[in-house]
């Protein structure tokens, strides 16, 4: 039997569908009553061939980021995706499962992006001399900035992640363990090699966090940045101007910490 909630007609056994949905919501007998989009929510149009699962993921990512988990109903998500409410239970087992799947999507998207950026690497981090380690640190930070600040899909990802930072749910553990912790630890190792310091030290962790925070400000503080700079948007050229300032900070901070390491 084909999945009645998937307009692409992908085959699936009815026995695979969860027996229950979120409390108080009974799956309709037919997908014909897909509701119109939620007012004020305009998720990007589905790509050709994208099925119900992908549409629900993108709508969930956007709405969870804007409204939070408790403030978003499965009906809201279904309307924004142009899908049937029962599709959430079919594909994710309910709202909690969809929320978890959004975190897994973020980890996979950003993890894949960093992996792609690494294809130009010229050897393992452990083999780098201090200057090469600093150069790699700077390059990875630049790639992160170009994705976070200039790519349109980064807005929904940033909203979701900021909300999880401000009010962590069990889903935060997925993002932290699969994405944040390993990337942050690697940046700390590179910084430690660059300045001759213990990568697990408080100073290195604080330094790396502060440098990444300079980049993240232009996403989470975007309205302030645009107003103060009299910009209408942050395009690729402006990202490079931001990065020029961040690189100055990186170089100056590295020089100061190298001097401290030599004299301590």
Residues 69 and 127 placed together within one structural domain of the fold = no
CA distance 34 to 49: 18
CA distance 10 to 86: 16
Does this model's pTM top 0.85?
no
| Residue 138 maps to a domain | yes
Please report, for the domain that includes residue 56, its CATH number: 1.10.10.60
Q: How many domains does the chain have?
A: 2
What pLDDT was estimated at residue 116? 59
What pLDDT was estimated at residue 78? 96
What pLDDT was estimated at residue 117? 57
What pLDDT was estimated at residue 115? 64
3-class secondary-structure state, position 11: strand
Contact in structure between 193 and 133 (CB atoms under 8 Å): yes
The C-alpha torsion from 239 through 130 and 262 to 249, rounded to 10°, is: 0
Average pLDDT over every residue of 32-53:
46
Residues 135 and 166 placed together within one structural domain of the fold = yes
* Strand extents, DSSP E, the chain: none
User: Tokens 């973020």 — which residue?
Assistant: 106
| Residue 194 maps to a domain | yes
Reported as type and span, the H/E element at residue 99 is helix 95-117
- Is residue 26 packed enough to be buried (19+ CB in 10 Å), middle (13-18) or exposed (0-12)? exposed
| Residue 9 maps to a domain | no
What pLDDT was estimated at residue 49? 40
CA distance 37 to 44: 12
pLDDT tens digit sequence for 163-173: 999 999 999 99
| Residue 1 maps to a domain | no
pLDDT tens digit sequence for 117-165: 565 567 889 899 999 999 999 999 999 999 999 988 899 999 999 999 9
Where among 93, 116, 131 does a domain terminate? 93
Tokens, residue 37: 């989009």
Residues 176 and 210 placed together within one structural domain of the fold = yes
| Residue 2 maps to a domain | no
Where among 93, 117, 139 does a domain terminate? 93
Where among 55, 72, 93 does a domain terminate? 93
Residues 118 and 245 placed together within one structural domain of the fold = yes
Tokens, residue 114: 């960093």
3-class secondary-structure state, position 26: coil
Please report, for the domain that includes residue 142, its CATH number: 1.10.357.10
Q: How many CB atoms lie within 10 A of CB 67?
A: 16
Residues 131 and 203 placed together within one structural domain of the fold = yes
Residues 173 and 199 placed together within one structural domain of the fold = yes
What pLDDT was estimated at residue 110? 86
Residues 175 and 140 placed together within one structural domain of the fold = yes
Residues 55 and 170 placed together within one structural domain of the fold = no
Q: How many CB atoms lie within 10 A of CB 249?
A: 12
Residues 77 and 141 placed together within one structural domain of the fold = no
User: Tokens 């980021």 — which residue?
Assistant: 65
Tokens, residue 162: 């900021």
What pLDDT was estimated at residue 30? 31
What pLDDT was estimated at residue 160? 96
Bigger pLDDT: 14 vs 73:
73
Average pLDDT over every residue of 170-180:
94
Residues 81 and 167 placed together within one structural domain of the fold = no
Residue span of the structural domain in which 47 resides: 14-23+32-93
pLDDT tens digit sequence for 69-106: 999 999 999 999 999 999 999 999 999 999 999 999 99
Residues 127 and 104 placed together within one structural domain of the fold = yes
| Residue 5 maps to a domain | no
Is the per-residue pLDDT at 13 higher than 70? no
């Amino acid at each position: 039997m084909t999945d009645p909630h998937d307009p692409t007609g992908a085959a699936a056994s009815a026995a695979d569908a969860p027996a229950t949905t979120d409390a108080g919501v009974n799956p309709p007998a037919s997908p014909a009553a897909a509701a119109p989009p939620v007012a004020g929510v305009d998720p990007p149009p589905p790509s050709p061939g994208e099925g119900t699962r992908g549409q629900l993921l993108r709508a969930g990512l956007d709405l969870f980021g804007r409204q939070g988990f408790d403030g978003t109903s499965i009906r809201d998500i279904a309307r924004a995706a142009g899908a049937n409410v029962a599709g959430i239970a079919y594909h994710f087992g309910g709202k909690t499962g969809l929320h978890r799947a959004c975190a897994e999507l973020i980890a996979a998207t950003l993890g894949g992006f960093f992996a792609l950026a690494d294809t130009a690497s010229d050897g393992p981090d452990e083999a780098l001399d201090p200057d090469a380690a600093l150069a790699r640190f700077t390059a990875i930070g630049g790639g992160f900035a170009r994705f976070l600040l200039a790519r349109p899909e980064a807005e929904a990802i940033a909203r979701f992640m900021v909300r999880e930072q401000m009010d962590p749910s069990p889903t935060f553990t997925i993002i932290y363990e699969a994405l944040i912790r390993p990337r942050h630890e690697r940046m700390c190792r590179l910084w430690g090699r660059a300045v001759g310091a213990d990568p697990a030290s408080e100073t290195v962790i604080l330094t790396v966090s502060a440098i990444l925070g300079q980049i993240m400000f232009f996403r989470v503080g975007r309205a302030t940045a645009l107003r103060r700079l009299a910009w209408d948007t942050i395009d690729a050229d402006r990202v490079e101007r931001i990065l020029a300032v961040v690189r100055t900070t990186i170089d100056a901070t590295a020089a100061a910490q190298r001097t401290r390491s030599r004299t301590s």
